[in-house]
Amino acid sequence: MPVKDCKTEQLIKDTAKRIFITEGKMSATTQDIADAAGVNRTLLHYYFRSRDVLFNMVFKEALTKLRERLHEVLGSGLPFKMKVENLVNVFYEELIKSPYLETFIALHLNQHPDKYEEMFTGLPGGKERLKNFLKEIQSEMEKGSIAEMKPLNFFINLFALMAYPFVARPIYLKMFDLTDQGYNKILLERKKNIISMLFLK
Amino acid sequence: MPVKDCKTEQLIKDTAKRIFITEGKMSATTQDIADAAGVNRTLLHYYFRSRDVLFNMVFKEALTKLRERLHEVLGSGLPFKMKVENLVNVFYEELIKSPYLETFIALHLNQHPDKYEEMFTGLPGGKERLKNFLKEIQSEMEKGSIAEMKPLNFFINLFALMAYPFVARPIYLKMFDLTDQGYNKILLERKKNIISMLFLK
DNA sequence: CCTTTGTTTAACAATTTTGTCAAACATAAC
DNA sequence: GTTATGTTTGACAAAATTGTTAAACAAAGG
């Protein structure tokens, strides 16, 4: 008897991931995905039963991975500034692979408000690490290394500065006649920029 | 003979606008829109011929309005900091009505790279005002009122800090157990925060 | 070679979404 | 009231998308 061969299954999943969250084509059809993977569309149903199942699997896996990586950084016990620098590095690594993941999440949470409960409560201690990070932010303000504001605003600023440029790429390419390479260079330069925006030095 | 009565036409367009770019439901069907507007679906075709025409009309109108308002602020001749403050006010006003407009634009530019040429070259003098704004940013850096960086990065930071929190709202609601009202309050507080992030004072 | 198990395919069915049409309807002008 | 013009409706057709099935195929084990 032949051994299970999950090459094709994995190929389909990877392709779906690429189309949905790397290229941002969230309404790609099963045919689009099958074509991109170079397989018969029926295989998609054979391995995943329905488009919906595949879609949610891709969504869930990407979100879970991102959350785990951020969770780890938050719990790393490093000094605050290094922790933030790590956060930027890790988030950047994920954003390069999945620039549309956050948009994806936001739009879906918006349209299925209650559907994705477990994904946010999934990691034990997740909320605690978040709260703890907000406390660290608070105490850094008291130390004077970052500007005074609501800790949540510091948090939002951090993620805004990281995530937005990845999503808005097509706009800036058009607006300033940039090339993809030129924009990538700017994105990388921004890493330092983000830190210096957030810290008073 | 009866006079043309564009009430229904306008109702459909307004409803589509709300669903597409206020609520972010970009793949709403003609039936969804007709239901939300409380009219027969056929009317949508009667007035707009196809879903695609309606979709593009909504998209184009919202983008045109936003661009015109920003264009006006950029050309206002105000001192730099006041200009940026006005930009924040104007952009906020538009974002409150159309929080998903930028996502909408980014995703569509991404998927139809060449389709929306005129929309970006539309306003005469648009590119000039942009370039001029970048020069103003440059000269502010030399004056020392803002931190040193590539002017484009200052520009991206400004829009990141403004736009991202509107799109990411559903994420933060879940993540920090906030209410809509609570989040709105934070968004408003951010206006000042954004300015103080950008300026060295 | 035959069987078993898993893979792949094409043909088909079901569903969803979009688009069309002709007839009913409303109202203002005559 | 009749006519003309624009509006609204339901029934229908067309297209796109998803899902199912049975049969062909491939490879490993007996």
Q: How far apart are CA A128 and CA B88, in angstroms?
A: 34
Query: Cα separations (Å) of A131 from A23, A50, A109, B11?
Result: 33, 38, 22, 45
pLDDT at residue B16 in the model = 98
pLDDT at residue B125 in the model = 79
Q: How confident is the model at residue A1 (pLDDT cuts 50, 70, 90)?
A: very low
Note the CATH architecture for domain B1-49: Orthogonal Bundle (1.10)
Contacts of B197 in chain A (CB under 8 A): 147, 157, 197
CB pairs under 8 A between A and B: 135
Query: Cα separations (Å) of B168 from A167, A170, B100, B115?
Result: 12, 19, 10, 27
Q: Where are the domains of chain B?
A: 1-49, 60-198
pLDDT at residue A124 in the model = 77
Copy the structure tokens of residue A84: 């933030």
- pLDDT tens for B57-111 read 999 999 999 999 999 999 999 999 999 999 999 999 999 999 999 998 999 888 8
Give the distance from residue B42's alpha carbon to the nearest chain A alpha carbon, in angstroms.
Answer: 24
Q: Any residues with CB less than 8 A from the CB of A88 and at least 6 apart, and which?
A: A158, A162, A191, A194, A195
B158 CA to centre of own chain: 14
pLDDT at residue B1 in the model = 45
Q: Write down the CATH number for the domain with range B60-198.
A: 1.10.357
Strand D bases, protein C-beta under 7 A: 4-11, 16-22, 26-29
B50/A1: higher pLDDT: B50
Bridge partners, A199 (sequence order): A146
Of all nucleotides, the one whose C1′ comes closest to residue B51's CA is C18
- pLDDT tens for A118-175 read 766 677 778 899 999 999 999 999 999 999 999 999 999 999 999 999 999 999 999 9
Helix (H) or strand (E) holding B156: helix B151-167
The residue whose CA lies nearest the C1' of nucleotide D21 is A42
Is the model's pLDDT at A7 over the cut of 50?
yes
The domains spanning A1-49 and A60-198 adopt the same CATH topology: no
Among A71, A115, A150, A152, the residue to mutate for chain B (most B Cβ within 10 A): A152
Q: How far apart are CA A22 and CA B197, in angstroms?
A: 30
| Residue B34 CA distance to nucleotide C26 C1' (Å) | 21
- Interface residue B112 vs chain A (CB under 8 A): no
pLDDT at residue B5 in the model = 65
- pLDDT tens for A167-177 read 999 999 999 99
pLDDT at residue B6 in the model = 78
Contact between the CB of A42 and strand D at under 7 Å: yes
pLDDT at residue B113 in the model = 77
- Interface residue B200 vs chain A (CB under 8 A): no
* pLDDT (mean) for A31-58: 97
pLDDT at residue B3 in the model = 56
Contact between the CB of A177 and strand D at under 7 Å: no
Backbone angles phi, psi at B163, to 5 degrees: -80, -45
Say if CB B69 and CB B79 are below 8 A apart.
no
Q: How confident is the model at residue A5 (pLDDT cuts 50, 70, 90)?
A: low
Q: Which parts of chain B sit beneath pLDDT 70?
A: 1-5, 119-121
Mean pLDDT of chain A: 93
pLDDT at residue B2 in the model = 46
